[in-house]
A and B are shown apart, each in its own frame.
Chain A
Amino acid sequence: MTNDQGHLMIKTALHAGRIMIENGSEVARVEDTIQRIALNAGYPDSKVYVTITGIMMSISGEENAQIEPVKSRSIDLEKITQVNDLSRHFAAHKISLKQFDDRLTHLDQHPRYFPLWLQLISAGLVSGTLEVVFRGNYPDFLVSCLIGLIGWGVFYGMSQLARVRFLSEFLAATVIGILAILAVRFHLGTNADDIIIGSVMPLVPGVPLTNAVRDILAGDLVSGIARGMEALMSAVAIGSGIAMILQAM
């Protein structure tokens, strides 16, 4: 590589872009961030092509373009925010390009999640509150909380155990369906439909759905449709889990 500074810039920008896409950012934001990093590093005419499965970038007038594949996708809005903050610091010349890259590596290797117990309680509260908001069924509030909590636990455990996409949603939905129907049979709840509607809410693919719409509206048709398929697959996984149980029991 003839130009070390340019090389480091592309490496940092691609790294930032990959972290953002992996954690559920929309494509237009990634493109914008990468171009701003290039601009602030002194390369005003960079060329970027971003999709949700890979990023390509080159500097005009230089020979080498680089490719960064994006292999895994999950949801972690904290990381997107931190990359955004780092990019702001870099724009304000508070950190150098080298520091920027080091901090990105650190960020990538040390994810900061909420503790599991807090996630479980949150999943329970999402289920219970939304069950009441949607259906107005106060007596089933606690049962929905409990079943939603268990459903999220299954989802979380399966995603940690086997990294098979959509399987964790399917199994979690199945467990929710079984528990809801059993709860009504044993008179712990009054209406299985309401309990299921509430308990499934934490699994709803909110980020891919919203991003699919935003990408398509912003003109990133390839990524938008790919993301829409992702959301649709999650929804189908949840729906078929529930449908299977409803037919069986």
Chain B
Amino acid sequence: MKSKKQQIYKPKPSLPSLVPPWLAGVLSAILPGLGQAFARQIRRGILILFSFATIIGLLVWRFRLAAPRDTGFMNIVNKAIYLQPLLTGITVVVGLLYLANIYDAVKLATIAGKPEKSKPFLIFIMLILAFFLLGWQIGQIDLYTLTTSFGDAGPALSRVLWPWSRAISFPEDTWRGIAVLETPCSDNPPPPTATLEDRPYLVVDPTCGEPTIQQATDNSGVEIIPGTTLEVKGYNFVPGVVVDLWWIDPATSQFRQRQEGQNVNVIPDENGEFTIDIIWPYRIIPPSYREGVSEWELQGRQITNVGDWEFSAEFNLAVEKMVETIFIGMMATFFGIILSLPFSFLAARNLMSANSFMLGIYYLVRLILNIIRSIEPLIWAILAVIIVGLGPWAGIIALTIHSIAALGKLYSEAIESINSGPIEAITATGANWFQIIVYGVIPQVIPPFVSFTIYRWDINIRMSTIIGLVGGGGIGYLLTQWIRVLDYRAAGIAVWFIALTVAILDYVSAAIRERFT
């Protein structure tokens, strides 16, 4: 081993090159690194060969990916360079790398056997540059779009950052003013609506007429015969609040009055009155309702706020789910502590090195903890959702599993780093293993345990917002839904709650940790 190490740092200066410098250059031109190998720098040669092969391989892949439908070498190259100009730059750098490799081989062969040393700076720089440019190209890095389209995120961002208009709402009530019309006009048309006190009503003139009709024409077009023009007067509406006009046809289905492609609405004056002319609209009505005289109803509807503001449904839901989230984190931490404690003592080397059996348990527990810990809680959550279904319980299971592994490791390391003196002293009194743990180990590990536990609680609450993404309950679940329906204000409320909770928790955990250390 030792001689090998020396070889790395001190290339043997005694051996001269096997080939003259020009031949080394030619060899490296044929196969990068070959010249270096013949100049007695086999390791460097191998390194150069492998890096060069890797870069060429990546470059070929990128060229083919850029022009997947083309065949023929030149076609692919032309198309790829046209679509991805950066590939030209990479090709140039690879060319320079190739030249640097030849230069390096010549130089190495020249100085081989002399005490001089040559470090492959040029090759190194070209390698870094090539990998950097490849990374840029593979990563599809696009600073132009990033900077020019930055403003596109503005609307969403501003809603997320200041979502509070969505946090409150006003209870609403619908006011209706009604008038009854008939078609076709009978001998006895309905009278104008009676005047009402305190409640809105509509007066329509005339009170009977014909709806708009569509008729097929000879040249297979459609002829529209407009219906009766109605003068609608509204009274007793709330001033300044929009009134929508709705029809209820003889088949009792509701639809809005539309004219020129727009829903018709009107704003009453300060007396709560308005006047508007509308054309009796076209409507397909089942034949059974068309026989004889049928009755239509016109409504003026006004949605008004009644009473004071209140928290919106979204706000209340966010509060509810935030509480749920905190408790998911808490329960997961709680179960995590209980279940990881036994593991932590088994995974502490200083307690488990008494004999080979205990050492075996130590390695086994360590292995299991490492495997569990290396699987993300998100994946545990997906598995838990399969078993127990959507909801907080799945989240608790996922976070508990991860907490056991993480806390088990942290706890066991805390145990491993305790002062062995007290343990020695307690052992010397004739105490058994359990007594040594209770009197020698536990008092020493309480501060780090408390600290790690609080930290874990902190992590679990932050993590439970993520667990919600896959259905593990809590506020993350809401957050994903709101983002998917583009309700950025509601999502913003959730984000604010998460941020506030994490900030408060951070402060609390720091305070608790301070007290225990």
Is B one of A's binding partners?
no
